[in-house]
Amino acid sequence: MPADKVLSFDIEGQPVRCYQTGRDRLWHCDCAYFERMLRAHGEGYCPHVVCAIQIGMRDGTLDFSEQYRALGLLAPRRGK
């Protein structure tokens, strides 16, 4: 599935990428911890990804409001 949008972050010299298609996001980092988590759990996750998510939410490049709404963590949009 090709990504609609690719976001790139530099976390202390470590490149982190987010491949976004619609509301779905796939994260990738080349660090050993990410690769170890990917092999062990089928999903990669690492401190670099956590930092990239925090930065993306702070600067507005990532918006999780639709996911929060779907989980009932935000009020529905007005008029819907």
Looking at the structure of the chain, the number of domains it has is 1
Q: Identify the band that residue 80 occupies on the pLDDT scale cut at 50, 70 and 90.
A: low
Q: For the residues of 8-58, what is the DSSP string, one character each?
A: EEEETTEEEEEEEETTEEEEEE-SHHHHHHHHHHSS---HHHHHHHHHHHH
Q: Is residue 60 part of a domain?
A: yes
Q: Is residue 76 part of a domain?
A: no
Report the C-alpha gap between 59 and 54 in whole angstroms. 9
Q: Is residue 54 part of a domain?
A: yes
Name the residue range of residue 65's domain.
5-70
Poorest-pLDDT segment among 1-10, 19-28, 58-67: 58-67
Q: Identify the band that residue 62 occupies on the pLDDT scale cut at 50, 70 and 90.
A: confident
